[in-house]
A and B are shown apart, each in its own frame.
Chain A
Amino acid sequence: MTATSAFAASVTAKVGVGRIAGYIPPGRVKVADIAPGFGVGPDFIANKTGFVELARRAPNEDTSQLAMAAVRKLEAVDPGVIERAQLLIVITQNPDGFGLPQVSSRVAAALGMRKRLAAFDMGLGCSGWVYGIATGLALMEAQGLDDGILVTADPYSKVVSSDDRDTAMLFGDAASATALTRRNPAWRLGQCVFGTDGDKAGALEVLADRKLIMNGRGVFEFSATRIPVALEETLSRNGIAWSDVDRVILHQGSRYIVDTIAKRIDQVAKTPFGAAAYGNTVSSSIPLMLESEAHQGYRCILTAGFGVGLSWAAAPLFSLGDA
């Protein structure tokens, strides 16, 4: 398929991605306050991790509350979306309580969503948003559903140890809600590339003490080698070239990893890092970036999520014009 036909194929009545809303709780950890305890200076914060502040949920704010806050923000920009939704997917690996019942059920009840609702959680980390839109849109297309909501809500403050140098300066709490819709969608999802390397899953793992461990070198090598290849494969699968891509929105794992991948694909100017004010928000990092990036008039945005699993997913979003 040529680039032209890839864009032309978007003018169909198929389901696509609609509005996106993010919720970042107001609490903050200032990294400069904790960095000296890890022997880290301002240069490392500014140029390596890139995270100046880490968003923190309130003590009484559980995963479902973060999810609900994001959905309410989506409702504010897309009125009626809660009432219309026939599908609700929540991406999380840190649910309320012990994960039973599922977060999606809690959210549906609290928001008064319809009972004829397909609602389920998906257990994925930083690749979750891309998997979520691919799964949600495919399910809606196959079952003739018109409206759905994809939520990401994975507060890592539940599992990060404040004394762990590898993780304490990275992760922030947040949530997002993405409308999946047949009525006037803003973006068509192109062909995706998925991957999983379970042999290396130990690089990101929550142990029996409910604390996260991360092999930073392992995650770095995985990200720096797998993602450039996946992005190139995604271009090929969709019959497009880098010149057709206006923006590359990567999982905001750290400034260093975003910059490393950007250099390896030779797309530095198109590949922003934008999470300095709230941290690595896991599956919410891509939609939080898209909340603003999606309204800049871009025709094609290439996205890639990667992390826990070790799992990755890359997907192009093609603009359908003013939604």
Chain B
Amino acid sequence: MAITPRLMTADELFNLPDDGMRYELIRGELRTMPPGGGEHGDESSIFDGSLGMFVRAHKLGRVYTNETGFVLATTPDTVRAPDVAFVRRDKLTDGRSPRGYLRVSPDLAVEVISPNDRYTEVAEKIAEWLAHGVRLLFAVDPRRKSVEVHRPGQPTQTLGLDDVLDGEDVVPGWTLAVRDLFDQS
């Protein structure tokens, strides 16, 4: 007899007690991820500093870190949490963040790759972001000190230490040298 697991909803996920783990919901199925290592947090906070400051200064919208949840699909629910996300101001009601998960897609997302992340799962996550409205996605690989730049329907560029991240038409005018992302010591 096949057993159909009961699917979890975004609201149930939101109400889970905080046990230090990170969770995502993929078509109603709970996925557990261990918290990222120190290196992981370093890159996220550099993005928060550089991108966050630029976005605040120019009142472009909001930058989210600490794996804020975004509802990408409903019934069954999919909730994904990027390491860093930028949402344009006009997509937020009164320019403010809602209580609970965001029901809009980020315009820009950053995923910092951990050594244990599985290739197929990251590829699936990136494809999902791009299919749900993310226009620019940076996949940061601390081990190789490189950043992959993904855009919907376009080839993926790999940037090294001598290259510069660019907000393009998503965060016009914002740039960050890849070297500054990795060489903080």
Do chains A and B interact in one complex?
A: no
A residues with a Cβ closer than 8 A to B are none
